[in-house]
Structure formats: structure tokens, C-alpha cells
Structure 1
Amino acid sequence: MARRERVTRMSVEQPLWRALTAYRLLTMLYAIGLFVTAQDRFDRPWVAIGYFVVLVVWTLATLPRVANAASCTKRFLTADLIVALAGILLTPVAVEHSRIVAGGPTLPSIWTAGAVLAYAVKGGWRWAAFASLLVGVANVVQRGAFSRDTLHNVLLVCIASIAIGYVVEVARASERTLARALEIEAATRERERLARDIHDGVLQVLAMVQRRGTALGGEAAELGRMAGEQEVALRTLVAGGLVPASRGSEDASQGALVRAVEEPDDLPGTSTPCDLRSLLAPHAGARVSFAEPGAPVFLPPVAAKELAAAVSAALDNVRRHAGADARSWILVEDEPDAVIVTVRDDGPGIPEGRLAQAEGEGRLGVAQSIRGRLRDIGGTAELISVPGQGTEVELRVPKISRGKAGSGR
């Protein structure tokens, strides 16, 4: 079946770009408003008008440039800072010197901070410090002297921009860490799914070939020996990990890109609940007794499929470890909040510590084919075994699944 890839893009810094866009628009209007209310104090108002025409055109034309980090190039940042510095240095040409000495605003006023903040969001605190330094020098030049007010304004812009730049750098590092963690989780889940499929199919066939070949002898024994070697090698691969983590991160300007492989929808009508009884009934036979409720036992299709596969794995373990003459019983219970399936056999039971030893050897029948499947659909698997008294496996799946089956897939 075709598989599909879920792509999730995360960007903590994207809201900062939207805020910067709004800030540039609002501060442009604020700078124009200051000029309109105090134009009588300008010696050369036409200089201010010419600058504001350029400022309005530049601000509106470059709005797409501050939409994200990819669009905000170094060339744009340089030009944007030049526009801000030009406005500061043109202030003594347009306005009375007494107004400058009295602490009056520059032509771009607080719009200048937007240019510095763009440096901070794009390149971090070092870029912000560089842009703030140039703005501070321009303010000192236009006033003709160093004053307390100038120092206050420059420090305010510098500290704010550096702080924002540092936050952006931390956010990008957090995005990369989160993306890596999600990639590892996705790879681990895919490895477990492949391990279950391999255990339910390939490994069991190889084990059967080994047993039959050994029993037949001759050339068949050699074939059985080779099958046994391949079984050991494949178990080692399954236990060690089959799926390497992929490179899932792109440029931090677009946010962390995370790819997680989803399992295919191989059951028709995934939105229609499935009667679990129809999936378990084929197991009934001379050596397997099946007890079911009189009414349908509905579960989401994926949950029903995984639960039925876990029951199959439990019965396979009975046949392999308890012998062909062992009897099994399947009991289905439909409770108000959960569906419980119990698989019991009259075999010799499992010695204490054997399951942990088997898992360490790469034999993942219980760990993956049973417990792993139930964990993925939000359920639990409990195994009770007493040597000489058989084994009982209780599989519980909540009606409202916490796993992937609950998503309606």
C-alpha cells in the first residue's frame, strides 16, 4: 500500500516577523504625524516631505521583505538601514537646530528601531548590536554633541534589539532540538512497526524452515542451517534499528521541518467502526476455543486490526513454545469503557526472566508484536505465566483510544 508523509512546519519566530511588519507601518504613520503637527518649526519642510515620500514608498514596497527570514536578505537589511540613517542625518537640514538641542525627534523617529529589529530577528543579537551601533553614531552626529537623552535613546534601542536577537537564537536552537526529537520518535515508531511485521512473517518462516530442515536431514538440514543464520542476522537488525533518522530540518527561517512517516490506511472505510469478532473468529478451531459476546464489539478499524494482530502473535507463541497439542482459549469482553481480549493456553508456561532474556536476544514477539501494538493504539498488554500452569495474555483497548487509532485514521 502507498505510504504518505506528514510534514509539519514549526516556526517560533514567525510571529515576530508579523509583529515587525505591523510595527513598521504604525511607526511610519507616527513619524508622519509628528511632522504634520510640528511642520511650522521646520526650516526646510520640503526636505522632510521628500524624505517622507521616500519612507512611505519604501515601507509599503518592502512589506513582503519582512514577512519571513528568507525574504529578508542582507541586501535589503543594508538598504533599510541606509534609509533610517539617511533620515537621522537629514534632520539637521530640515528642522531648526534649537528643536534638535531640545531633544526633538529625528525625521524617521521610532521607525528607525524597526530597521534594527529586522537585523535582530534575521541574524540574532550580534547583528542587532552592529545596527544599533550605527544608529547611535548617526544620532550623535545629527545632534552635534553627546547628551544624556541621546545616550538614553541609543541604549534603549540597543538593549531591546539585542534581547530580541538573543531570544530568536534560543528559539531557533529549540526548534532544531524539537525537530530532531520528533525525527527520532518517528524513526523509532517506524522501526517498531517494521519489527512487528518482520516478526509476524519473515522470522517465523525462517524459524519453521530451520526446524523442518533439521528434522528432514540431508540437504534440507543445510537449508535449515542457512535459514537459522539468516534468522539470527535479521533479528540483530531488528533489535539494532532499521530506520536511520533523516535530515528533517531546513533553514530556520522557514521553521523546523519535521517529516514523520505514517502507516497506510489499509482498511476500507476507516471512519466506520469494525466488529472485532469478525477478525478473531477465524482463529477458532480444534485447538482454539473462541468465546464472544452476543452483540457486535465495535472498535476503530486501526485499533481492531492491531488488536487482532496482537492476538495472532499470542497464538503463534503458543504454537511455537507450547507445542502443536496445546489448547488455547480466546475470550472477548465488551466493557463500557474498554474492550478486553484474553488469550490463555495450557502450555508449560514461561520461566521467570525468560521474556527479558528473549528481548535481549532480539526475539521481539511479546515486546513488539503484542505490547508494542497495544501501546500504539493506547492500550495495554498484561502477561501472566506460571511454570507448569500455562500463560495468560490480557489485551485491553479503551473505547476512546489515546493512540493513533483514536484519530479516525
Structure 2
Amino acid sequence: MGIEGPFWRAIAVYRVASLVYAAVLLAQNRGYEHPAAGWTVIGVMTLWTAGTAWAYAVPALRRWPLLGLDLLITLGCLLASPYVEGARQSEPGTLPVPATWIAGPVLAWAVHGGRRAGAVAAAAVAGGDLWLRLRAPGVPLQVNGAVLLFLAGVVVGHVARLARQAEERMQRAVEMEAAQRERERLARDIHDSVLQVLALVQRRGQRLGGEAAELGRLAGEQEAALRQLVAGPAAGGHPSGLTDLRSPLLRLAGPGVTVSTPATPVLLTAEAAREVTAAVKAALDNVRAHCGEGARAWVLAEEGEEEGKSVVTVSVRDDGPGMPAGRLAEARAEGRLGVAESIRGRIARLGGHATVTAVPGQGTEIELTLPTRP
């Protein structure tokens, strides 16, 4: 992935710098007891440094065979130190011939495989380093190098894994944004053409009656389906785990029912979206039961603020005969709890409220308001 490129370049720079450091140490110590062998090790390190700088720059070559070979060559150079240094290996402060170059494969394993892979490579290299120190008589055992190798492997692996995850999330966000822009563009074009034609066919068919009414009904169903298609992803399909209220509401559209929703998702918990949809269904059932066959209903969902809190408001309005004052109280007294429980009760349990406005001869409007985080 693109985010890994800087990590591999940094490892290449580290290898070159540590190679120069190892060569300087060998020169300062005049090649130890076996200069030819020492410079041969430096030559192998030089060739492998150049090879890995090229190989790790090619994403297709960043595989476990190359990483395993990298670790083996590094261990070979490390374990050649006793022969090169001879008796001088026991002198205080003497480093192995590769010196800090041995951390190269640890960093490579960490970038490629994460924390665990970095720790495994660190264990292998640190084991070789500790074995050399145990073989040196009279030299106190020092574990500083092993500890630093483990820290480098774990920390670099963790950072590399976080960087990959951040890149993946960024890529998903870019794709979602592009998809949303395209969806909004299609929604505008469809709304300006197809949806308006379908709505016109539905209205004209209802007025003409007969076979034209059936054609209008079919046009209304296709309009509702098309509105749902361009509205966005299905309910529950959001990374946040929330549900887009628009999808279940748009499924309620049909002949005589028009549903309008915002262009952006209206996100609620799954339970809240389910209860709001059920309340709207109950309201539409009341329209069909009490307002007659020709009555129309309009459902409008929107987001806003109420008393400084973010809320979602869904209103259901019809063009029926309305209700006389006190009708809801009479229905409750008669044990008919459709509005009281199916609508008001559901919204109240979510921490919201429902208001009913009815004017005789002018229809009824039910407004459901609830917080976005019930």
C-alpha cells in the first residue's frame, strides 16, 4: 500500500547508515584479528543492503521468503563475529561486526507483519547476539541490545499497522464521499425527470379512474421504489452501526402516501428507527381507516434542534375530514389506544413526544419528535 513506502525507504536509509558505522568500527579496530574475513562480512552486508533497498521498494517482492532470507543473512553476518574478532571479542565495549546493522530485518518484519512479526524477528536476532556474548569469557552479560531490538520491533510494527488502518479508513471515506456525490447527482437528475413524470402519471390516473387508475397506482409504486433506491444505503449499512431512518420510511410510500426525506442520512439507533417507523405506520393506518379511500397522506422527516439538542422530527399529515375536539380522549376512554400507545407510547419510550393537531374539515397532522441519541 502507498503508506508503507516511506517505512521501507526509512529502513533502507537506516541500513546504509548502520553499514557505514560498522565499516568505521572495523577500520578503527584494524580489522580485528582476521581483517580479510571482517571486510568480507562488510562486503556481504554492502551487497545485501543494496539488494534489499531495491527489493523492498517493489511491493510484489515484499513477501515472507525475502524477509526470511533477510533474517538468515543478518544472522550469518552476526555469527561470523567470533571468527573475525578472535580474542578481542572479550574486550569490554566490543560490538559484533555488523553492529547496529542487525536491526534491519527486525524493522522489515515489523513493517510487513506488525507487532508480533517484529517481536519474532527481534527474538531471533537477540538470541544470536546473546549467544555471542555468553561465549565471550570474562565479559558481563548485557541485554541492552536485546531490549532495544524488542522495543524497535514492537513499536515500529504497531505504528505501521496503525498507518495501514488509517490509510484503509481514508480510502473508504473517499469512496463513500464519491459515491454520495454521485448518488446526489443522480437523485437530482432523476427528481427533475423520472420522478416528476411518475408523480404526474399517478395523479392523472387517479383522476381519470378505471384502467388509468391502475396505471397510476403502478406509477406510484415505481416512484416510491425509485425514491428509496436513490436515497442511499440500506438501513443498518453505516460504519457507525446506526440505521438510516430514510430507508424504512421510504418503503411506506405508495399510492396516496408521499414520503419526503433529507438528502443526507438521518441516523438513529436500530431500535429507535424501528419504533419511529412503526409509529408512522400506525398513523397511516388511521388515515386509511378514518379518512376514506381517496385521502392522501404526506410523511416528512427532518433533523433540527430543540432546546439545544439534536432531534429528528417526523410528521404525518393527511387531507381527511379532521377530528373534533376531545375525540382522542374519548377513544382512550373507550379502550381504543391506537394513538395513545402505538404512536405516543412508542415515542415517549424513546425520550421524545408526539403532538396531534386536528382541525375539522382540514385534516390531521401528527408530529413525532425524538432525540437523535435516545
Smaller-chain TM-score bracket: 0.5 to 0.7
- Give runs of aligned pairs for residues 4-403 of structure 1, distance below 5 A: 11-39=2-30, 42-67=32-57, 70-145=60-135, 150-241=142-233, 356=302
Amino acid at match of 2:4: E
Shift of 1:126: 0.8
What amino acid sits opposite 1:54 in the alignment?
A: V
Q: Distance in 1 between matches of 2:38 and 2:198?
A: 85
**One-letter code aligned to 2:120:** F
Question: What is the CA-CA distance between 1:153 and the residue it aligns to?
Answer: 1.3
Contact 1:43 1:95 in 2 (8 A): yes
Question: What letter corresponds to residue 35 of structure 1 in structure 2?
Answer: L
* Alpha-carbon distance change, 204 to 241 in structure 1, aligned in 2, over 3 angstroms: farther
In the alignment, the residues of structure 2 paired with residue 19 and residue 355 of structure 1 have an alpha-carbon distance, to the nearest angstrom, of: 53
**1:77 CA displacement:** 1.2
CA distance in 1, matches of 2:30, 2:197: 90
Larger Rg: 2
Q: 1:71-92, CA deviations, whole angstroms, 9 ceiling, x for partnerless residues? A: 3221111111111111121111
Counterpart CA distance in 2 for 1:159 and 1:355 is 54
Q: In 2 relative to 1, CA 185–155 (structure 1 residues): closer, same or farther, beyond 3 Å?
A: same
Aligned-pair distance for 1:161? Answer: 2.1
> How many pairs are equivalent?
245
Structure 1 unmatched runs, 5+: 1-9, 246-352, 362-409
How much has 1:360 moved relative to structure 2?
A: 6.4
Letter aligned with residue 132 of structure 2: Q
Normalization by structure 1: what TM-score? 0.54
- Structure 1's 163 and 241: CA in aligned 2 closer, same or farther, altered over 3 A? closer
- Cα offsets for 1:272-302 (capped at 9, x unmatched): xxxxxxxxxxxxxxxxxxxxxxxxxxxxxxx
TM-score, with length taken from structure 2: 0.58
Shift of 1:209: 1.5
- Higher mean alpha-carbon deviation, 171-180 vs 142-151, is at 142-151
C-alpha contact 1:139 1:150 (8 A) present in aligned 2: no
CA 1:354 to 1:32, structure 2 compared with 1: closer, same or farther past 3 Å? Answer: closer
CA deviation after TM superposition for structure 1 residue 70, in Å? 4.1
Give the distance between the partners of 1:111 and 1:73, measured in 2 at CA: 21
User: What amino acid maps onto 2:203 in structure 1?
Assistant: R
Q: Is the 8 A contact 1:64 1:71 kept in 2?
A: no
Distance 1:168 1:355, change over 3 A: closer
The one-character-per-residue Cα deviations of 1:300-358 (angstroms, maximum 9, x if unpaired) are xxxxxxxxxxxxxxxxxxxxxxxxxxxxxxxxxxxxxxxxxxxxxxxxxxxxx96749x
Contact 2:67 2:109 in 1 (8 A): yes
Within 1, Cα distance between the matches of 2:300 and 2:98? 77
Shift of 1:152: 0.9
Aligned residues: percent identity? 41
Matched to 2:9, the amino acid is R
Cα offset for 1:104? 0.8
In structure 1, what is the Cα distance between the partners aligned to 2:115 and 2:59? 15
**Structure 2 unpaired stretches of 5+:** 238-298, 304-312, 316-374
- Closer, same or farther: CA 240–69 of 1 in aligned 2, 3 Å: closer
1:179 is displaced (CA, Å) by: 2.3
Q: 1:341-390, CA deviations, whole angstroms, 9 ceiling, x for partnerless residues? A: xxxxxxxxxxxx96749x969xxxxxxxxxxxxxxxxxxxxxxxxxxxxx
User: Which structure is richer in relative contact order (CA contacts within 8 A, separation 6 or more)?
Assistant: 1
Are the equivalent residues in 2 in contact too, given 1:20–1:66 (CA < 8 A)?
no
